[in-house]
Amino acid sequence: MENNAVKKDNRKALPKFLLILLGAALFGGVLGFFAGWMGYSSVSDAVREVLDHIVSRFLPWAIPAVCLALLAESWRRYRKARELFEGWDGSNEEPLETADRILNWSLLWSSLAMVLNLFSISISSYCTLPGSPLIVTVLFLLILVLTMLLQQKVVDLTRQINPEKQGSIYDTKFQKKWFESCDEAEKAQIGQAAYKAYNATAKTAIVLWVALVVLDFIFGFGPLPAFTVLLVWGVAQTAYILECIRLEKGGSR
Q: What is the pLDDT of residues 80-124, one digit of tens each?
A: 999 999 988 877 888 888 999 999 999 999 999 999 898 888 777
Q: Is residue 167 in some structural domain?
A: yes
Q: What is the pLDDT of residue 37?
A: 53
Confidence of residue 72 (pLDDT cuts 50, 70, 90): very high
Considering the domain architecture, whether residues 234 and 248 belong to the same structural domain is answered as: yes
Considering the domain architecture, whether residues 200 and 85 belong to the same structural domain is answered as: no
Q: Is residue 176 in some structural domain?
A: no
Torsion region of 156: left, alpha or beta (phi above 0 gives left; psi -120 to 50 gives alpha): alpha
Q: Return the biggest CA–CA distance within the chain.
A: 74
Q: What is the pLDDT of residue 50?
A: 57
Confidence of residue 74 (pLDDT cuts 50, 70, 90): very high
Q: What is the pLDDT of residue 68?
A: 94
Considering the domain architecture, whether residues 84 and 163 belong to the same structural domain is answered as: yes
**171-182 tens-digit pLDDT:** 888 888 888 888
Q: Is residue 178 in some structural domain?
A: no
- Residue 35 above 80 pLDDT? no
**224-238 tens-digit pLDDT:** 888 888 898 899 889
Our count of domains for the chain comes to 3
What is the domain extent for residue 21? 1-40
- Residue 33 above 70 pLDDT? no
